[in-house]
Every structure is written in C-alpha cells, then in structure tokens.
Amino acid sequence: MGPSFGHTVVQFFSFEIPFISGPRHRGQSRAIAGDANASDARETNKPNRLISRELLQRHPSVNVRSAGVLARSNLRISGSLRHSRKNPLALFICPIYILYVTNASAAQKGRGAGLNPTNRFEKISLEKDIDWNPDDDRPLRTEFYRDTTQSVINYNDSPDVGFEASLNPYRGCEHGCVYCFARPTHEYLGFSAGLDFESRIMVKERAPELLRKELSSPKWKPQVLVMSGVTDCYQPIERKLQITRRCLEVLLDFRNPIAIITKNYLVTRDIDLLSQLARFNAAAVNVSVTTLDPTLTPKLEPRASLPQHRLAAIRELSAAGIPVNAMVAPVIPGITDHEIPAIVAAVVEAGATSAGCLPVRLPFAVKDLFVEWVERHFPDRKEKVLGRIRDMRGGKLNDPNFGTRMRGDGVFAEQIHDLFAVACRKAGLPKPRPDLSTASFRVPKKPGRAEQTTFEFAAS
C-alpha cells in the first residue's frame, strides 16, 4: 500500500522565490496555524536552490491560500491547503521559507517506520480528509538531496560514546531500522524522524575533498575517526555513489585510523583499502548483528543485509586481516534477547575477535515509531516488550542520562549483560577490542613539492 497524506515537515531556506499558485484540485487538507522563527533559517543558499528546483520539477504547483502574516522574524500560516491526489507533495513558497508537505504512511513494504510524525520543532501539521482513499496514493520513493556542508568531521564530548571524532557521508539512512537512535537528527534538517529519515537522504558529495582539506590542516590532531556514528556509510546508495570508498582512499593517503560501524555486506567491496590501512594498525570494522532470524530482519531493518550476509562479511574481513568487532545491538527484550548466545557463537565462528552489547534506545520520536512497529508485528507481545523496556529505562521508554542510557538499568538490563558475558566466556571472548594507532599518520606531499611532509606522532 502506498503512502497516505499526513503530517507536515518544514524546511527553512533563505533565498527569495515568489508565491506559486496553480489550478485547484479535489481533496482538501486543513493547515493548522503555527509559528516559525526566521533565526532557524539556514544560510546555505546554493544547496537549498538545488533542492527546491528538484522538488518543483517533480511536483506541479498547487493552490495555496494563506491568511497569515509574513515578516522577516515571524511567519504565521493559517488557512487551507489544496492538493491533488496525484501530487500529494504540496509546497508553500514564500520569500524566506519553503514549507513542504511529506507523505505519512501505514505499513509499507521495504520501510521500517509506519509513521511520519510531525517534526518536534514545528507546530504545523495536516489532517487527512475523512474520505481520503489510501489506495489512490503513490508508492513512497527514496529521494536524495545535495548536502553542501563545508566540513565533514564532527566532534562530540559525550562521556559514554567512546569516540570524539566522526565522519558521516550521508544524513538519513535507507536501511530503515525502526529502532535507530539517529532518527531524531533528521528533525534538525526540517524533516521527520519517521519515513523521511529513510526516504529523504542528504548526500555529502564533496566529503572526500573536504576530508582531505581537514586532515591536511595544522589544526588536525591525528585521532581515530568513526564512520557511521550516526547513519550507515554503506547504505544502498553507496553502491552507486562510492563516497565512502573515496573517503577511505583519502584516509589511506594520510594513514589516519578509521573505525567503521555497519550492517551491510557492501563493506567487503573495500577490503583492498581496509587491509592496507590494517597493516598500519589503522582500520577496524564493527558489524552489527541484531538477529539471526532472516524473517525478522526485513521487518526490523528492511533494507539492511540479511544475517547470513553480515556473518559472511565478518568472515571475509577477518580473512583479509582486518580486525572485526561484532555488535550485538540493539538488544530488544522480548524479541531478540534470547538470541544473544547464538549470535555471539556465530560471530566468533565467523572470525570476530571481540564483541559488544547494547540494549535498545528510543529517544524522542523513535518511541512512537517503535510502539507502532511492535503493535503491527508483535501485537501479542506488545505489553511484555514495552514493559521490559520501561523497566530498563526507569519507568519510561527512554532514559537520556549519561551512564545509564547505553547500559540500561534494572533487572532486565542486568539479565541482558549477564547473558552476554556468559556467552562471550563460552565462545572464548572477551578479547580486547582493536587498539588503533596514529603512529603512521602522515600528510602526503602536494604536487610540486620536492619532498613529502611528514610528522611523527606517539602511538595511541
């Protein structure tokens, strides 16, 4: 079943385009009044123009009637929005903002989320007509947008993350894992944490060039970079764009250590680069194995690799001399927790040298998405699953506090960690995780220089 017309996602842009109007169509949704502050508008005009032009080319103009007041510091929209069933994406366009409507949906094949909840930073939403026929909807297709960010290395000071610097070639992830803790980050872009997160992907086309520039800077302190700290760098579009591969080529030039987190077999494509980095103790791959049940993966992680393919990836990476850490994560009590011993045994047999375990986290809108998913796929276990998560999270579905947000708390959290520890001992783990080194870091010579510029750094 295709997507049904639902909530609004608001994207702010800072260039001028006149209002667009077009013929009126059958079917009407009411726009609920709301405010938006211009200080939130983004200043990167070039990428916004590209995005708006792509949207306009795909979707003919629709009629917009607004009774609101437009000012530089404030925008109030109140009135009706008319759209066509054949063109369910409607646009508000004004001198400072572009507000566009995204699709909301019930369950769709190949998608993890069943909802497109309203962005938590916005107050505008749409109501479906009472006579709306979802059979008239078009299938939801993935859209890719240019992200012309000017830097690609991100820093964090969280005490329980385990790394400080990360690199994400993409924002949003087509894998569609319903539990993904990174979904709320899409709301900072004006999108929804639901279907938008897995169907509207921001692509950093210049990531390799920007990475080279930042690693060449005297300000760069050599340290381990983590790829996929937010979204998977080997999601399906990477097969075509190869941005991650080109970033690895840059990292190999500099011999800067890299740790990759993924659940996609596509990582094996880059064994040639990763094995060269591994010779300098500068590469490791973390493969997430959530379940061994091939019938659960399409429901839970619809566009990620099946379990047997992830085990094959561990096997091939290990055979190439690349250290592999298996992530038994996230563990969902009442659904996947009983698989912990089998998963640990399988990843060790495949060649993983270490393993980690994390219980599921459900921040912000992810809570509602996950509840809807459980109701849809495991209605008989809903109370059991959600009850155990609440027990681990202090009576709520999420605990944002440092220290407990990663491990959980309570009897069920302890059971998960105890079961994991026993499984590791039985399988011959724990072994220490790979300790990557910056000792071989260098700055490659530039064209025209007689000698290569190098720096010596103490091993870390």
- For 129-156, the pLDDT digits (tens) are 888 887 777 789 999 999 999 999 999 9
Domain check: are 88 and 169 in the same one? no
Both structure tokens of 373: 């998913």
Which CATH number fits the domain that encloses residue 273? 3.20.20.70
Q: Is 326 a member of any domain?
A: yes
Residue 374 is predicted with a pLDDT of: 98
Q: What is the pLDDT of residue 340?
A: 98
User: Residue 139: its pLDDT value, please?
Assistant: 83
388 and 295 assigned to the same domain:
yes
Q: Are residues 150 and 125 in the same domain?
A: no
3-state secondary structure of 204: coil
**Is residue 380 domain-resident?**
yes
**Dist. CA 381–CA 359, nearest whole Å:** 18
Nearest partner of 169 among 142, 143, 144, 190, judged by Cα: 144
Residue 276 falls inside a structural domain: yes
Q: What is the pLDDT of residue 414?
A: 97
Last residue of a domain, one of 115, 141, 167: 141
Instruction: Tell whether 445 is covered by a domain.
Output: no
Final residue before a domain boundary, out of 113, 141, 169: 141
For the chain, the domain total comes to: 2
So what's the pLDDT on residue 433?
82
Residues 124 and 161 in one domain: no
**pLDDT tens digits, 400-423:** 999 899 999 999 999 999 999 999
Same domain, 93 and 148: no
Q: Give the tens place of pLDDT for each residue, 325-355.
A: 999 999 999 999 999 999 999 999 999 999 9
- Looking at residue 138, its pLDDT comes to 79
Predicted pLDDT of residue 182: 97
Residue 205 falls inside a structural domain: yes
Residue 448 lies in a domain: no
CB atoms under 10 Å from CB of 281, counted, come to 18
Asked if residue 269 and residue 164 are part of one domain, the reply reads: yes
Say yes or no: 167 and 276 in one domain: yes
* 82 inside domain: yes
In the Cβ-directed half-sphere of 197, how many Cα atoms lie within 13 Å? 32
The CA distance from 364 to 300, in Å, is 19
Distances 397 to 178, 292, 363, 366, 405 between C-alpha atoms, Å: 15, 25, 8, 10, 11
CB 9 within 8 A of CB 92: no
Count, residues in the chain: 460
Looking at the fold, whether 84 and 157 belong to one and the same domain comes out as no
105 shares a domain with 243: no
Indicate if the alpha-carbon torsion angle 328, 287, 257, 213 is positive or negative.
Answer: negative
Q: How far apart are CA 438 and CA 165, in angstroms?
A: 14
Angle between helices 307-319 and 340-350 (to 10 degrees): 30
Q: In terms of C-beta density within 10 A (0-12 exposed, 13-18 middle, 19 or more buried), how is residue 313 classed? A: buried
189 and 281: one domain? Answer: yes
**Would residue 421 count as lying in a domain?**
yes
Weakly modelled stretches of the chain, pLDDT under 50: 1-105, 448-460
Nearest to 426 by CA among 341, 347, 323: 341
Q: Are residues 76 and 177 in the same domain?
A: no
Q: Give the domain range for residue 83.
A: 4-141
